[in-house]
Amino acid sequence: MSIEISPAWWTSAVVYQIYPRSFADSTGTGIGDLGGIRGKLDYLQQLGVDVVWLSPIYRSPQADNGYDISDYQDIDPLFGSLEEFDLLLAEAHARGIKIVMDLVVNHTSDEHAWFEESRSSLASPKRDWYIWRDGDGVDGHEPNPWRSMFGGPAWQLDAVTGQYYLHLFAAKQPDLNWENPEVRVAVYTMMNWWLDRGVDGFRMDVINLIAKVQSDLVGDSPGYVMGDQVHDYLQEMNREVFAGRDADLITVGETPGATVDDAIQFTSSDRLELDMVFQFEHVGLDHGPRTKFDNVPLKLVDLKRSLGRWQSGLADAGWNSLYFSNHDQPRSVSRFSDDGEFRYESATMLAAILHLHRGTPYVYQGDEIGMTNAGLTTIEQYQDIESLNYYAEEVAAGASPAAVLASLAFRSRDNARTPMQWDATPLAGFTTGTPWLEITPNHSTINVATDRAAGPRSIFEFYRRLIALRHESTVVSLGVFEMLEAEHPTLYAFTRTLGEETLLVVGNFSGVPSELPLAVAGELVIGNLVIGNYGEVPDIAGALLPWEVRVVRLR
C-alpha cells in the first residue's frame, strides 16, 4: 500500500520581499514603516502573493539597515511598535497572507545587551557568547587573516579587555558563538516567542556561517566558515522550534557559498533542517575574480548551466528558492536585460523564466513594476555601508573615483534599496518627508499607478497572472524541469512536465529577434499560448522578438 504525501503548501506559493525602510512611509519621516505596509496589503493581495518576508524591523542602530539587531524582541521605533506589528499580522492573515521575519542570528549589534555584557570583562558570564581571541603578535596582530565581507579585517580589537572579537560583517556586527549552548537556547527561545505571536516562518540571514570551523580560528588558514556543526544546529533548532508546527511554516536559509550538495543537506525533507535555501552561484557569475564590484558580462550559457544544475541537483532531493533580485543585488531588469526601450518585455521575460522554474519564487518589491537601478553618480548619494567602505578602500589604494563610482552604479546594494515608486508625484507617493535614500528620477514614468494603467503592457498584471498560474497548475509547482538548447547563446528554453501535461517556456535574452531552433519552433506552433509578453503573435514559428517570452502548453 502506498501512502500519498501531499506536497508542502510552499511548493505552490510565491513570496514577496519587503525592504521596510523603502516600501511605504505613513509618518512622514522619510523612512518606510509598518503603517505604510498595512496600507499596501490590498495591493499585495491583488498581486496574489502568499507570503511577505520582511527585512529586519527589530530594534537596531541601523549600521547595516537593521541587519545589526540590538533587541530581538522589539520593533525599532523607526518602523513602529509591537502593537502595530500585531495589527499588521492580523490584517495580513485576514487577507490570507503569511508574514515571515528575517532572523539575523549569525551576529547581533555591538549595542545588543548580550554583547555589552560580553565585552565588559574576561570573566563576564556572557564572555563566551561571542568569539574572542588574543592577537597573534604578527602583522596586524589579528588572530587570523580573515577579512570582513564589508572590507578590512574580520577582527576588531576591543580596548576593554585587549582581546579581538570576530565580525564577518561590519565591526558593529559581532558574531555570536554558536558553540555555546546558552546562545542556542536564547535564540530558540526568541524564535518561539515570535511564532507564538503568530509569525509564519523565518528567512535566516547567512545561516550557513553560524558554525565556524574551529581549527580555522587560529593560524592563517583561508577559513571559509561553514563548519559541519551547522547541520547539528539546524536539526536542533528544528526540534526546539519547528517541531509540531512546521507544516504551516516556511523556513528559508540564506547560504552564500553553498553548493548543490550542501543545499541537499539543508533542504532534504528527511533531514528536518530547512525548507529551502538561497544559493548564490547564479548571482556571482558576473562578478570579477577580485571583488563583486569588478563587473564582468554575464554569458547566458553560464546562467543556464548553473540554474540547470541546481534544478537537476535538487529535483528529487530538496527544494529550490528562485530569485533574480533582493535588497543585496542590483535590479534584475538593469542587470540581466534592457531597462530602456524594452523594459516591459525584459521585466516580464525575466519574471516568466524565473517563476516557471521548479522552486518557490521570490518577488523583490518593485520588480513587479520593473523598477531599475538607481543611477547614482556621486558617493554622497550612497548610504550602504558595503558601498561606502568599498569606495573608501579603493580610492585610498589609488583607484580613480570615477571608475569606482562606475562599478557602484552597476553593483551597489543601494540600487535595489531606493524608495518604492508608487506614483508620478514628486515624492513618488512613498513619503511626505525627505526620503532616506534618493527616489530614482524615473519614477515619473516607472511607478505603480502608471504601470497598472498600462492595460496589456502592465508588468504588475503579468506578475499577477504568473502567480495565479502557479496556484492553479501543478505542472508549474511540481513538474519535472528539463533544460533545452543549453548551448544556445540567447535563448533560455525548458520544459516542465507532470503526468500527461507539458509546458514549454522559451525566452529571448537579447534585443534582436532570435531565430528558433527547429525543434523548439515546431513545438511552439503546436502548443497553445499560456502566457507571453507580445500577445498572440501571428508569426509564431519564425523567431522570438526582442526579449520575448512564450509559454505554451504542449499537452
Give the residue closest to ligand TEU by C-beta: 67
CB of 511 to ligand TEU, least distance (A): 28
Closer residue to ligand TEU, CB minimum distance, 368 or 386: 386
CB of 320 to ligand TEU, least distance (A): 18
At which residue does the C-alpha cell 511626505 appear?
Answer: 432
Q: Tell me the sheet residues that pair with 254.
A: 278
Closer residue to ligand TEU, CB minimum distance, 233 or 422: 233
CB of 281 to ligand TEU, least distance (A): 13
Cβ burial 284-298 (10 Å sphere, 16+ → b, else e): ebbbeeeebbebeeb
Q: How many residues bind ligand TEU (CB under 6 A)?
A: 14
Give, as ranges, the residues between 437 and 476 that touch ligand TEU (CB under 6 A). Answer: none
Asked whether the beta carbons of 501 and 31 are under 8 A apart, the reply is no
End-to-end CA separation in angstroms for the chain: 30
Contact with ligand TEU (CB under 6 A) among 205, 273, 275, 339: 205
Active site residue 205: yes
Q: Which residues contact 397 (CB under 8 A, 6 or more apart)?
A: none
- Listed as own residue / partner, the contacts of 492-496 with beta carbons closer than 8 Å and 24 or more positions apart are 492/300, 492/303, 492/304, 492/353, 493/520, 494/308, 494/356, 494/357, 495/554, 496/356, 496/358
Beta strands of 477-545 (E only): which ranges?
A: 480-484, 491-498, 501-508, 514-515, 528-532, 543-544
Nearest of 477, 517, 207, 510 to residue 357 by alpha carbon: 477
Contact with ligand TEU (CB under 6 A) among 114, 164, 169, 336: 169
When asked if residue 322 is in the footprint of ligand TEU (CB under 6 A), the reply is no
Q: Going by DSSP bridges, is the β-strand pair 480-484/491-498 parallel, antiparallel, or unpaired? A: antiparallel
Q: Which amino acid is at 117?
A: E
Asked whether the beta carbons of 497 and 526 are under 8 A apart, the reply is no
Closer residue to ligand TEU, CB minimum distance, 67 or 233: 67
Active site residue 254: yes
Contact with ligand TEU (CB under 6 A) among 36, 201, 256, 532: 256
The most distant pair of C-alpha atoms in the chain lies apart, rounded to whole Å, by 77
Contact with ligand TEU (CB under 6 A) among 31, 131, 206, 446: 206
Contact with ligand TEU (CB under 6 A) among 200, 275, 281, 328: 328
Chain centre to alpha carbon of residue 544: 30
Closer residue to ligand TEU, CB minimum distance, 295 or 312: 295
When asked if residue 281 is in the footprint of ligand TEU (CB under 6 A), the reply is no
Phi, psi of 187 (to 5 degrees): -65, -45
Contact with ligand TEU (CB under 6 A) among 64, 286, 338, 367: 64
CB of 150 to ligand TEU, least distance (A): 7
CB of 204 to ligand TEU, least distance (A): 10
CA atoms of 237 and 226, how far apart (whole Å): 17
CB of 60 to ligand TEU, least distance (A): 11
> Mask: binding to ligand TEU, 212-251, rule CB under 6 A, as x and -?
----------------------------------------
When asked if residue 388 is in the footprint of ligand TEU (CB under 6 A), the reply is no
When asked if residue 104 is in the footprint of ligand TEU (CB under 6 A), the reply is yes
Instruction: Name the grid cell of 489.
Output: 547563446
Contact with ligand TEU (CB under 6 A) among 16, 58, 67, 194: 67
CA atoms of 388 and 395, how far apart (whole Å): 11
> Mask: binding to ligand TEU, 345-384, rule CB under 6 A, as x and -?
----------------------------------------
When asked if residue 158 is in the footprint of ligand TEU (CB under 6 A), the reply is no
Interface residues with ligand TEU (CB under 6 A) are 64, 67, 104, 149, 169, 205-206, 254, 256, 292, 327-328, 386, 413
Show which residues are catalytic: 205, 254
